[in-house]
Amino acid sequence: MNSPILAFEQPRPAHMQGRQVSFGRHLIESGQIAPWQLFHAFDRQHSCDATLSEILVSKGWIRDEHLMQALSLHYTAQLVDLDREPPNPDLSDLLPPEICLKHNILPWRTVGGILVVVTGRPERFEALRHTLPARFQTAILAICDESAIVDHLARTRRIHLTNLAETRVASIYSCRNWEQTRRGTHRLGLALLTAFVVALVSFPAWVLAVLTLWAALSLFAVSVMKVAAFASYLRNPIDSNLTPRNPSVLPRISVMVPLFREKEIAQALVARLSRLTYPKALLDVLLVLEEHDDLTKETIARTSLPNWMRVVEVPAGSGLTTKPRALNYALDQCRGDIVGIWDAEDAPAPNQLEMVAAQFAKSPPKVVCLQGILDFYNPRTNWLSRCFTIEYATWFRCILPGPARLGFALPLGGTTLFIRRDAIEELGGWDAHNVTEDADLGIRLARHGYRTEMLPSVTLEEANCTTLAWIRQRSRWLKGYIITYLVHMRDPRLIWSELGLTGFLGMQLVFLCTLSQFLLAPLLWAFGGQMAGLPYPGQMLFSDEYLVWVITALLASGIINIVISAASVHGQNRTALLPYVLTLPIYFTLACAAGYKALFELLKDPYYWDKTDHGKTKEGTSAHHSGVDVLFKSGDEGL
């Protein structure tokens, strides 16, 4: 189901050379810029999808107020102050507010029956005009600051925009209607729990035996997937030291950075993103804040932001406060044809956006999403951060690339994710009610026939290194996995037809079998206790040969995990992590606790977003910590 914002065609900006030259000459004659600056800007336009104004502003060669005056004179267009001269409210329904935000245009007044349209991007308006309704074909142009249009729409169309942010995804793909059926969900959950307890009391051995058998089968399936993925990795490992070949014309890229209750991270974030080498005229970073988050707003207010970074304030709506809701609200304010996501504590590789542009340029049209490699810059904080680092390395470097090459529906990471704008708009953005919007997005992309590829570029994050915080974060992930699985399995035949047999089975492996492993792990531990001579309640139902087979399978699975995890940190100058690979079974017991917390929250508060606090380590609050510097000075070399 298409998003409403596709009611109009997405225009491709065109460089109107004659008009640009005339405007450049005007800037020189008025003393705003020097001739060499104009020549440089024209030269950059050959390789950048940016206007002359955008290049000059990105270099700091012209101030915004001087540029607005020059544009007004050049286009013979009135300069408008929307606070003093607000738009005629009778014209507000000519365009949906999301279209107005996307293209930074606003129906303003009528003069002699002719529509006057105000915009902060006059150089792009002619390319846009023919995609708009008939009344706009003869519209007169007026000019104001871009932010004035955004502020006006945010103030006057608040209800529409907040509702859109929460309901953008079609209901068939969303979990938002669970709220309407919560009473029924509670009754069903209580009925299932009661039936389970009755069966467990009446036939304990049989219940435990069936659950153990399913746990063993799911463990076998996951192990086979890991071996296949690891074999694919060995044949074609990801090389994050590749130098990208830029396309002939670099695209504009917008990256949203959702922030919530961030006190320590702002200055470090700005410094880390300032290392990016992508042309600043094409770089559009949006810091997405919640309206009621005074802590983060005060922190940002004390931070000097570069001109390629701006703040988007998400107004409060129904009470829902989630990352995907914030992303939906900010999406229409993005300027780029490619939209990415970073988290507050992220330190992306300096050339990451060049690699994004290069990979999209060489990929077929069906590849609309790129998932980067996530790693940590604080693996030595404590035992938990070491194990977390090994887990991420195993997943993003050795496991995930395999299913990606097979075309599986991938549960994406919530950061270092880049997607073509027309694709995310077609899908309706993110499900605002799903607490793992990234995993859900991966499934919806596959259901629409799109593909995701791995991006050979690393982003460093802060590893969660306190036990309770780790369990809270992991429980949110697992709760979102359960929600995502149940939402997309509402109609198994439909999703089978959309994903095909391979994709459907891959989804069961990634979601159902993985969840089973976390929730049924205690049964496998008890089964493994057979090796130590401990009794097992269902032992009388299994033959000795079967017991030996399952125990052997458990040992084999453990060895497989150890080998893959050890290989994942090999060659990253992280050999000090190798002994901790042996402690991963202990580490994953925490995930079992998180799984049962997730089940409880699924019934009690399915939309609750258990916030992960950032900036809890010295690496997290310092942009120049040695961990970040070492890795990016030596390619993909770790600590």
């209607």: which residue's tokens? Answer: 177
For 4-8, 58-62, 568-572, which range has the lowest pLDDT when averaged over its residues? 4-8
Q: Render pLDDT for 206-219 as a digit per residue (tens, 0 to 9).
A: 777 788 888 888 88
| Amino acid (one-letter) located at 23 | F
Report the pLDDT averaged over residues 16-43.
79
pTM for the model stands at: 0.88
Residue 331, token pair as written in the block: 């999406």
From 420, 264, 257, 253, select the one nearest 334 (Cα to Cα): 253
Q: In the structure encoding, which two tokens stand for residue 110, read together? A: 């009528």
Question: Using alpha carbons only, what angle is made at residue 406 by residues 400 and 410, rounded to the nearest 5 degrees?
Answer: 45
Q: Give the model's pLDDT for residue 13.
A: 42
Sequence-distant (6+) residues with CB within 8 A of 575 are 569
The predicted structure's pLDDT at residue 184: 54
Asked if 261 contacts 296 with a C-beta cutoff of 8 angstroms, the reply is yes
What integer pLDDT is reported at residue 5 of this predicted model? 35
Give mean pLDDT, residues 570-581: 86
Lowest mean pLDDT among 235-249, 340-354, 425-439, 455-469: 235-249
Say if CB 419 and CB 505 are below 8 A apart: no
Kindly tell me if the per-residue pLDDT of 615 is higher than 70: no
pLDDT (0 to 100) of residue 358: 93
DSSP 584-636: HHHHTHHHHHHHHHHHHHHHH-TT---PPP---SHHHH-TT-HHHHHHHHSSS
Band (626; pLDDT cuts 50, 70, 90)? very low
Share of the chain above pLDDT 90, in %: 48
Residues 6+ apart with CB under 8 A from 611: 260, 261
CA-CA distance, 566 to 581, in Å (whole number)? 6
Segment 408-417 shows an average pLDDT of 87
By the 8 A CB rule, do 484 and 434 touch? yes
**Confidence at 133, pLDDT banded by 50, 70, 90:** very high
Confidence of residue 468 (pLDDT cuts 50, 70, 90): very high
pLDDT tens digit sequence for 300-356: 888 889 999 999 999 998 788 899 999 999 999 999 999 999 998 899 999 999 999
> Do the beta carbons of residue 286 and residue 312 sit within 8 Å?
yes
* Per-position DSSP letters for 187-202, written without gaps between them: HHHHHHHHHHHHHHHH
Whose tokens are 């994406």? That residue is: 412
Q: Single out the residue of 431, 325, 521 nearest to residue 1, CA to CA.
A: 431
Q: Domains in the chain, please, with CATH? A: 4-156 (3.30.300.160), 157-639 (3.90.550.10)
Which pLDDT band, with edges at 50, 70 and 90, does 636 fall under? very low
